[in-house]
Amino acid sequence: MSGRPHWLYTPPVTNHTPAPPAADMDPAEHADSDPAPGSLPGSAVYPGPNRDEHSGPGRIDAFVRRALACIAGLGLVVGFFLNWQQSTEINLESYTGLELALKGRTAIWAIPAVGGILIALGAWGRRPALLGSMLIGLALLLVGTWQTLTYLAQTIGPGLWITAGAAIVALLGGIPWQRMFRNARSD
């Protein structure tokens, strides 16, 4: 596989007929498992890594992804009740997520709801936990970034915006784009 990630591996095309499933195998036992790419559960078309969450390395991956989804969900629920805004010399009040939600910021109620959804997805299975964690994490990061940038846009001057933009341009200029794309094409 020459150092490429296993999920980029394309199984070879063969004229092999899949082996019939074992007679003693209960299909319900393997309903939540991940078959190897390009094969059906119980077939011998692709001799790739064992992705069955009930045994082997796939079991550890499934456990970790489900546990991380549950931990993230629990963190969202607990964080909702902790301080979101600390009191400072300028602002003498501190607020929890619950207090902000009760004061009319109704969108904040989504935080514990999404946390509960993540906990449920983690308990449900590896695939729902994987997809739900990615979508919810990305959505929360985008909304949080938007809220932070909106707040900053109201409070900082053009000098800091130009400095931040120049930092981003410098970062983009320092990334070896050509080498990355050349290596991607040669693989």
Model pLDDT for residues 76-96, shown as the tens digit of each residue: 999 989 888 777 777 778 888
Which parts of the chain sit beneath pLDDT 70?
1-57, 184-187
Max intra-chain CA distance, the chain = 74
Q: What CA–CA distance (Å, rounded) separates 103 from 130?
A: 34
Q: d(Cα 79, Cα 22) in Å, to the nearest integer?
A: 48
Q: How far apart are CA 99 and CA 119, in angstroms?
A: 23
DSSP assignment of 12-43: PP--PPPPPPPTT--GGGGTTS-PPTT--TT-
Distance, first Cα to last Cα, the chain: 10
CA 29 – CA 41 distance, rounded (Å): 11
Give me the count of residues in the chain.
187
Please give the model's pTM, rounded to 2 decimal places: 0.52
pLDDT tens per residue, range 51-71: 444 555 577 778 888 888 889
What type of residue sits at position 16? H
**Residue 24 pLDDT:** 54
